[in-house]
């Protein structure tokens, strides 16, 4: 969900900045093995989560001809914070193990053409 604010330096050109809220669904899984014996001396976690974050960017729309065609280009940067998950070891002492994932950043460039009827 984004809004945009722009200027028209010429009648055929719109330059704008955009920003707003963003959501994404992410699947996470991790395994930590303690020692050379492998599982069952390990900790496992797996879950999916809907993350909220933000999106910012900018772009332009250009109408090069005196008809209904538009050319556009847009850059977007998305940011979502990473989660943590604390679980116990499968066998042995019940020691907590915390897995942490870094923030997720996505950069996107969109190029397109449109015709207005």
The whole-chain average pLDDT of the chain stands at 86
pTM: 0.76
Q: Whole-angstrom distance between the N-terminal and C-terminal Cα of the chain?
A: 25
Q: Provide the 10 A C-beta neighbour count for residue 92.
A: 12
Could you tell me if residue 110 is left (phi over 0), alpha (psi between -120 and 50 degrees) or otherwise beta? Answer: beta
Confidence of residue 89 (pLDDT cuts 50, 70, 90): low
59 pLDDT higher than 90: yes
How far is CA 17 from each of CA 55, 60, 61, 76, rounded to the nearest angstrom? 11, 9, 12, 10
Q: What tokens does 115 get? A: 């015709």
């Amino acid at each position: 969900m984004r809004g945009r604010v722009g200027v028209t330096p010429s009648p055929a050109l719109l330059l704008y900045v955009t920003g707003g809220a963003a959501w994404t669904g992410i699947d996470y899984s991790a395994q930590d093995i303690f020692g050379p014996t492998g599982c069952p001396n390990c900790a496992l976690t797996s879950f999916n989560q809907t993350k909220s974050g933000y999106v910012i960017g900018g772009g332009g729309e250009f109408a090069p001809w005196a008809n209904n065609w538009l050319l556009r280009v847009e850059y977007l940067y998305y940011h979502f914070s990473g989660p943590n998950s604390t679980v116990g070891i499968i066998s042995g002492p019940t020691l907590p193990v915390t897995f942490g994932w870094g923030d997720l950043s996505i950069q996107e460039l969109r190029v397109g053409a449109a015709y207005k009827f």
